[in-house]
Structure 1
Amino acid sequence: MLDKYREAGKIASKVRNEAAKKATAGMKVVDLVDWIESEIKSTGAGLSFPCNISINQIAAHYTAVPNDDTLLCNGDIVKIDLGAEVDGYISDTAVTVIIEGDNADPYDEDGKPLNMPGRLDDGNPVVTDDELEERYNILDASATALENVISIVKDGVTLNDIGKEVETTMQDMGYNPITNLAGHSLEQYNLHAGLSIPNYPDGNTTQLKEGDHVAIEPFATNGAGIVSDLPQYAIYSYIKSKPQRQPLSNQLLKNIRNNYSQFNFAGRHLLNDKFDERKLNRALRPLISSGCVYPFAVLKDKNDGMVAQTEHTIIVEKEGCEVTTL
C-alpha cells in the first residue's frame, strides 16, 4: 500500500514540475490539461481527478470545458492542481505559477474574440509591476504556509494546530487564508475520505495519527478569504444510477457508471463520436437534476482577490511526516 502511495506521488510530482515550466503566455488551458493528463496516463497510472487550472480570482474546480478557448496570459497567477492514482491509491498536489511570455492574439483567424469562460476578464489584461509583485507575494505566502505546516505534522498534531500555522503564516505576510477551502484525508479510491484539514484555527482537536494519508493545501489571497460559487461547472462526480426518460441520458449515465464511478471526471472526458458538445449538455442536464451526477461549481474569491494554492500529499509518521509528492 505505501509503495503505491509513493508511486502515485512520484508520478504526480514529476508531471507537476514539468507542467509548471510548460505553462506560458499564449497557451490554451485545454492544451495544458490534455498534456498533463496524458503524461499521467502514459505511466500506467490513472487520474485521481481532472487536472484543475484555476486562473487569478478562480480558486478551484476549473478545468478545460469542451471547445474551451481560454488562454493563459502574461501575469496570470495560475493554480495547477493534479493527482495520480495507482490501484486506487491517491496523490494530490498543486503548484501556483505566474505566467510569463508574450500574449497571444485574443481573436481567432476570423477576427472574432476568443471565448474565455475560465476568466473574469476577457482578452489580455495589462498587469502592472506592482500587481505582479503582489501576485508573487501571495504565491510565497501559500508555499511558506505549506512548508511550515509540514514542519509540525506528526502523530498527535491537531487539526486546529495545522489551521493556526496556516493562518499565522499568511497573516504575518499580509494575506488571508481561504477559510472555506480545506485539505483532506485520503484512502484507497476515496479522494476526500472524511477528515477536513483547515486553513484557519477552527477549534477542532482531532489529532492526526501515524499512518494517516492527508493532502494539505493552503490557499492564500489578498481578497476576502472566502470563496463563492460561479454559475458554471466543469467537473462532476457520479452519485447513483436511475432510469432516465431520454435515451441519450441513459447512454451517458451508463458510460459514467462504467468508467468514472470511482473518481471525478470532466465534461470533456465524455466527448466521443456519439456525444458532441451539444448532445453532451442535453444528456447531462437530466442526470444532474435527478441527482445521478453532482456538478462542482467553479469557485472564486468573494471579493475577486488573487489566489494562490500549494499542496502536497503526506503520510503522517511518529515524529514527522513523509511527503510523497516532493
Structure 2
Amino acid sequence: MSDAASFDVILTKYKTAGDIAAKAIKGVIDAVKADATILELVQLGDRLVEEGTGAVFKDKKMSKGLAFPTTISINNVVCNYAPLPSDEASSRKLQDGDVVKIQLGAQIDGYPAILAETVVVGASAEKPATGRTADLIRAANTAADVMIRLMKPGATNHEIGRKVAQSLRDFDVRSLESIQTNQFDKNEIDGKKKIVVGADAASRADSAKLEENEVYGVDIIVSTSPEGKTKTDDGHTSIYCKTNSTYLLKMATSRKVFSEIQKKAGAFPFNLRSLEDEKRARMGVQECANHALVKPFEVLVDSSSSAITAQIFFTVAVNAKGAIRLTPAPTWATAENVKSDKEVTDEEIKAILATSVRQTKKKNKKPASEAPAAA
C-alpha cells in the first residue's frame, strides 16, 4: 500500500472520530442553558463520545473512546475545567450571559479528533451576544479562519503564529500565553511540532515547517485582558495523562490507582471521575504525578478575574491543496447569534480570508460550437 493510500485509511479514522466528536459537542451545546450544572454537561459530553465510538468498527478489536474528556470552562476560566462530583464547583449552575467553552475529543484506533466551541448562555438570534463578548468570539473565529488557510506544506510555524496574532488586533483582544497548537499522531496529542500565536522569545516554539499529511490540533484561545497572562488553579485539576516514565510506587493505594489507569486510560487524557473510586483516585494520583507517571492537565484561568476568554479548537490535516478539516467549523457562533461592531480592516488579513481553504480545479467550459444541442 502506498503512503498516500495509507494516509487515506488513517484519515478515515480521524474523520470518523471527528464526526463523533462533532455530534457530541452539539449535544452539549443544546444542553447549555441557565441552571444546567457543569457536572451534568461534562458527563453528557463524555457519554455521547463513548456511545458514538462504541457504535463503530464493532467487528474489530481496536482502541476507541475519549481522546479528551469533556471540559466546561466559564468566563475567565481558560481550559481543562471538569470538576469531580465531590467538588462543590461541579454543582455550579450556568447563568445567562456566561461565556462557556466546551472542549472534548474522540479517538478511533488511536487517531484523535478534538474540537472546542464557545457559546453564550441565553444568547440566540432573537437575543444575540453583543459588546466585548461578541468581539471576543468573533475574533476567535476569525483567527481560526485565518489559521486554517495558512496551514499548507512549507508554511513555518512562526509565520503562521504571527499572522494569526495579527488577525486579532482589529478586535482589541489578544491570545493567551501557554496556549499552543500541537501536532497529532497515533496515540499522540502533544507531538514535536507546535504553533504558538503571538509568542514572545521566551515562549516561542522551535522553528518548524509544516509538511503534507501531518495532522494538528489547532487551539486558539483569546482574552479581553490586556496582559494575556494565565495562572493555574491546582485545586480543580481532574484530568491527567499517563506518560512513558517508570517508577516503583511506594503506596499501595497509588499502585492500585495506577494499575487501573493503565487498563482504562491508554495513551489519552482521562478524568479521575472515570476511575472506580474517586476518593482513592484523588489520593493515588498524587504520588503518580509527583514521580511523572502521569502528567496533569492543569486548570488555567486568566490572571484578570474580570476577563472573559473564548476558545476555538479544531483538528486538521495538512494537504497540498489546502487543509482538510477533520472536525467541522464551529456551528453556534453565527452572524445571527453574535453581533460585533468590529470587523477586519487589515488588508493582509482580509486577503488571506478571501482565499479558499481548499484549492479546487475549475472545469474548462467547452466552446459553444462543441456544446450539446438542446433537445
TM-score after normalising by structure 2: 0.74
> Could you report, residue by residue, the CA deviation over 1:107-157 in whole angstroms, capped at 9, with x for unpaired residues?
xxxxxxxxxxxxxxxxxxxxxx9x963112211110111011112221111
Q: Which structure 2 residues correspond to residues 74-223 of structure 1 after superposition, within 5 A?
A: 74-100=96-122, 133-200=131-198, 202=204, 205-223=207-225
Kept in 1: contact 2:194–2:205 (CA 8 A): no
Kept in 2: contact 1:66–1:267 (CA 8 A): no
Give the corresponding residue for 1:113.
none
Give the corresponding residue for 2:58.
none
Q: CA deviation at 1:285?
A: 2.6
Q: CA deviation at 1:259?
A: 1.5
Larger radius of gyration: 2
Q: Note the aligned Cα RMSD (angstroms).
A: 2.1
Same amino acid, percent of matched pairs: 25
Q: Which amino acid aligns with 1:62?
A: Y
Q: 1:46 aligns with which of 61, 65, 70?
A: 65
Q: 1:234 aligns with which of 231, 234, 238?
A: 238
Using the alignment, how far apart are the partners of 1:261 and 1:203 within structure 2? 27
Gapped runs of 5+ residues in structure 2?
Answer: 1-9, 55-63, 329-375
Give the corresponding residue for 1:250.
255
Q: CA separation of 1:4/1:163 partners in 2, compared to 1, >3 Å: closer, same or farther?
A: same
Q: CA deviation at 1:241?
A: 4.8
Using the alignment, how far apart are the partners of 1:66 and 1:93 within structure 2? 24
Q: CA deviation at 1:204?
A: 5.8
Q: Which amino acid aligns with 1:269?
A: S
Give the corresponding residue for 1:125.
none
Aligned residues: 295
* SS of residue matched to 1:310: strand
> Could you report, residue by residue, the CA deviation over 1:46-73 in whole angstroms, capped at 9, with x for unpaired residues?
1002112111111111113133222222
Q: CA deviation at 1:297?
A: 1.9
> Could you report, residue by residue, the CA deviation over 1:14-63 in whole angstroms, capped at 9, with x for unpaired residues?
22223222211111111111111111111224100211211111111111
Using the alignment, how far apart are the partners of 1:284 and 1:211 within structure 2? 36
Kept in 2: contact 1:241–1:253 (CA 8 A): no
Kept in 2: contact 1:13–1:325 (CA 8 A): yes
Gapped runs of 5+ residues in structure 1?
Answer: 102-128
* More moved, 17-26 vs 177-186: 17-26
* SS of residue matched to 1:253: helix
* SS of residue matched to 1:149: helix
